[in-house]
Amino acid sequence: MRRLFGTDGVRGVANEFLTPELALSLASASVHELAADERPLVYVGRDPRPSGELLESAVVAGVLAAGGDVVRLGVIPTPAVALAVARGAAAEPAGALGVMISASHNPMPDNGIKLFGPGGGKVPDEVEDRIEARLGDGGARPTGAGVGRVRADLGGRTDWYVDALTSTVDVDLRGLRVVVDCANGAAAQVGPAAYRAAGADVTVLNDDLSGYRINDNCGATHLDVLRAAVVAAGADVGLAHDGDADRCLAVDATGAAVDGDQILAVLALELKERGRLAHDAVAVTVMSNLGFRQAMTAHGIAVEETAVGDRYVLERMVARGLSLGGEQSGHTILRDLAPTGDGVLTGLHLLARMASTGRSLADLAAVMQRLPQALVNVVVADNQGALETTRELAAAVEAELRGAGRVLVRPSGTEPLLRVMVEAPTQEAADTAAERIAAAVRG
C-alpha cells in the first residue's frame, strides 16, 4: 500500500482523496504524536484555494478535539506558518505546531496538508509514518475544559509577517523596478507589500485571491507571462512565486529565466563574502545542475547533496550546521533568517544583492553556467525494478561523458514513473543520452 505522505505532506484532489474526514483525522493524530503532555498551540494557515475553507474547518476541529488550541492565520504563505511556530514555541509550555493547507504548485482542484513540528521544521519521514499509523485510532478525547479553543483569528492580517521579512534586509531597494508574479496564490498580499516596504518599485501580476486561478499558467512553474512583462516594462528583474509562496524563481532584464541553482549561487557568494556562509558549504539536492557544483568548487564552497525535497535539504543543514541550501525548483533556505524555505525572503535578498553591488541580475547569475539538461519521465509498472535494470547503462552513459556531464535515474516518490535526467555539454548530447536510457526502460 502506498505511503500516505509524499515528499511534502499529504496531497491530492480535495474532497475526493483529501476529504474533510481525512484532514480532521490527520490533525488529531498530529497533535497526539507531536505534542507534549500539556495542550499545544497549533498555527493553521492556508492558500486561497476554495477547498481551503473546507479543509481548514476540518483541521481546526481535529486539533480542538485532540485538546490543542488554535490560532487561525488565514490566507498566508507556508513559510509564515513555520515562522509563527518558531516564534510561538518559546512562549508555549507545550510548544507550538503548525499546519499549512496547500497543494503548493499543483492545480486548483488539488489541496494538501503540510505539518510543522516544534521549532518550525517540517516533520521527518519516521514521524509522518507514526502519524499515519495513528489514523483512525482517535486517541484521547478530552472533555469539558480539556477541549481545545480557538485563541485568535488573524485571517486578513499579514503585517506581522511583512515586518519580519523586511527586518532581515538592511539595503534600500529604491531604484529597482520589479515585476512580481504572485501565482494568484498566498503571495498576493505579502509579496508586493514586502518588496514595496523595502523600497522597490513594484508591478504586480496574478494577485487574484479568489483561489480559482491559483497556479493557472502563472507563477514559478509558468514564467512566460513574467518574462514578457519584464521586457515590456523595462524592469530590472522579475520574481515568480508558486501558490504557497515557498518558492522564488527570477527573470533578468532581458527576459532570461534565472533558476533556483543560480539564485543559490548568487546568495552563496554573498554570504561567503560577508563571512556568514557556515562551514563554507551549501546543501542541494541531486537535481542541482552540474554547473552549480562547478561554480561552487571554483569559489572554494563545498556542496552537500541530498535526496529531492526541501525537507531533506533542511535536515542536512540542521545536521551539519549549514546556513544556506535549496533546490533548482526555487526553494531556498536561509536558515539564519527563517526555519524553512521562504520565496519572498529569497526575493528580498536577491534584490538586496543587486542593490548593494549595483550589478544586474544577469551579471550576478553569470557566476555559474548551466549545463544543458534533459529530463524524461518513463511510465513503469515497478519503480524500483525499473531502476535496477538501468544501473549499468546509466553508469556507462555517464562514463562516456568523461566528467563533462552527469546521469541521474531515480524513481518518483508519488507516481509509477522513472525519471531520467542527463546533463551534457550540448542539449543535443543530453537529449540523445536521456532518450537512450528511456528507450531501454521502455523496451
Cβ contact 149:95 at 8 Å: no
Three-state secondary-structure class, residue 331? coil
Backbone angles phi, psi at 170, to 5 degrees: -110, 20
Helix (H) or strand (E) holding 55: helix 50-65
Any idea what DSSP says for residue 422?
Answer: E
| 104 is an active site residue | yes
Query: Burial level of 38, CB count in 10 A (0-12/13-18/19+)?
Result: exposed
Q: Give the long-range contacts of residues 312-320, CB within 8 A, separation 24 or more.
A: 312/285, 313/283, 313/284, 313/285, 314/121, 314/122, 314/340, 314/341, 315/124, 316/283, 317/283, 318/121, 320/279, 320/281, 320/283
Task: Measure the CA–CA gap between 205 and 175, rounded to whole angstroms.
Answer: 20
In DSSP notation, 33-45 reads HH--SSPPEEEEE
C-alpha cell at 256: 532570461
- The Cα-based distances of 259 to 125, 135, 183, 265 in angstroms read 28, 39, 17, 10
Among candidate residues 25, 102, 104, 323, the one labeled active-site is 104
Task: Measure the CA–CA gap between 303 and 414, rounded to whole angstroms.
Answer: 27
- The Cα-based distances of 263 to 97, 171, 258, 321 in angstroms read 30, 18, 7, 21
Q: Which active-site residues does the annotation give?
A: 104
